[in-house]
Amino acid sequence: MEGELKLNSKTGIRIALDVMGGDHGPAIILPGAQIALERHPDIKFILFGRDSEVLPILETMPRLKAASTFHHCEVSVRMDEKPSQALRQGRYKSSMWRAIDSVKTHEADVAVSAGNTGALMAMAKFCLRTMANIERPAIACIWPTLRGESIVLDVGATIGADAQQLVDFSVMGAAMARAVLAISRPTIGLLNIGVEEVKGQDEIREAGRLLKESPIDGLNYHGFVEGNDLGRGTVDVVVTEGFTGNVALKTAEGTVKQVASYLRASMTHTLMARLGYLLARGAFKRLREKLDPGKVNGGVFLGLNGIVIKSHGSSDAEGTASAIDIAYAMAKADLIQKIEQDLAEFYSSLSAHLPDSGKTAESA
């Protein structure tokens, strides 16, 4: 068919890519895909986008072209489009919808988009549906810490989560930490205004009680953590509701840029400072790479019957490749199966020990 490219091989990790997503579209998404392909040669891309914009760039990347299937889409979701409007107008036609739908139909193992977050979440929920026992999904991200990396969720999907939803996020975050960070028994902390059990809103305290009384040995609940514990890496999984998590994420990103700006100004202020920078530029480069949000780009939609990765809309090619790296790791680790198993085990045990929990083994 005109405007379509096909793969000969069905092996490898299959990643559906919304090429029209983000602030720059194919000009950034395709180079990012090419970088990811160099890192993971077994990736097979399924590209969705407008042929007039995608194919001219793809023709200059023979290796990526050979590893890709391309599908022309006449509609792309604008970054400022309302989720309801995008869902109504873009359903079945947009590059975003078709990338998600390819996960539902098992054509792809995971979908990646740098597009409109609200539209992506609305389409993902509508198309993939939530897992059994999960009322609302969460967006999880990998957070750099002094100890390495941790999982933080929710960073924007569910505003005002109740106690049961916070417990759901804890189970899913722990499964992600095991699958992606290779931590056999990750510690879990609930983000709160203090570590004392009497502090915080009722929902947080109730979630803490449920996690503390959990009969599952693999659910390693640490207790409450505060905002400064995020960077310290006090726990492997930090759980909060979407409003607080998103504020924390944006604050951290802004602080990194602020510190970087201060360093640049300080290093160019005097001749001696410039000389000092030349001597220490290797250390500054390592610091920049450690703190660069693009290096850990990619929020994971957890709680759906399929994996969807949200990349930053303003990401460069390296940031896009980082999001694809996360998608690759998720699919390779069979994250969905692990989360389903953990949820079934948790609620089966919970219903046996806490009959008033509201959920049963049968519903799991």
- What DSSP letter does each residue of 200-264 carry, written as one string? S-HHHHHHHHHHHT---TT-EEEEEE-THHHHHT-SSEEE--HHHHHHHHHHHHHHHHHHHHHHH
Q: Which of 113, 122, 65, 118 is nearest to 91 (CA)?
A: 122
| H or E stretch covering 125 | helix 117-128
Q: How far apart are CA 105 and CA 101, in angstroms?
A: 6
Q: How many residues does the chain have?
A: 364
- Output the pTM of the full model: 0.81
Complete domains list, the chain, with CATH = 1-129+304-333 (3.40.718.10), 131-296+334-364 (3.40.718.10)
C-alpha to C-alpha distance for 237 and 149, rounded to whole angstroms: 9
Rounded CA Rg of the chain:
21
Q: In DSSP terms, which residues pair with 17 in a beta bridge?
A: 47, 112
Q: Name every residue whose Cβ is closer than 8 Å to that of residue 29 and which is 6 or more positions away in sequence.
A: 17, 18, 19, 20, 21, 22, 114, 320
CB atoms within 10 A of CB 104: 16
pLDDT tens, N- to C-terminus, the chain (364 residues): 334 444 434 468 999 999 998 889 999 999 999 999 999 999 999 999 999 999 999 999 999 999 999 999 988 888 888 888 777 766 678 999 999 999 999 999 999 999 988 889 989 999 999 998 888 899 998 888 888 889 999 898 888 889 999 999 999 999 889 888 889 899 999 999 988 888 888 899 999 998 888 767 668 899 999 999 998 999 999 999 989 988 888 888 777 777 777 777 777 777 776 777 676 666 666 666 665 544 567 789 999 999 999 998 888 898 899 899 999 988 988 888 888 888 887 777 766 655 555 554 444 3
Q: Which string of DSSP letters, residue by residue, matches 298-315?
A: -EEEESBSSEEEEPPTT-
Beta strand ranges found along the chain (DSSP E)? 13-18, 43-49, 68-72, 110-113, 138-145, 148-153, 187-191, 220-225, 237-239, 299-302, 307-310
Which residue, chain included where needed, has tokens 């953590």?
Answer: 225
329: CB partners within 8 A, 6+ apart: 179, 180
Point out which residues pair with 43 in neighbouring strands: 13
- Do residues 192 and 226 make contact, with C-beta atoms less than 8 angstroms apart? yes
Burial degree of 345 (CB within 10 A; 0-12, 13-18, 19+): middle
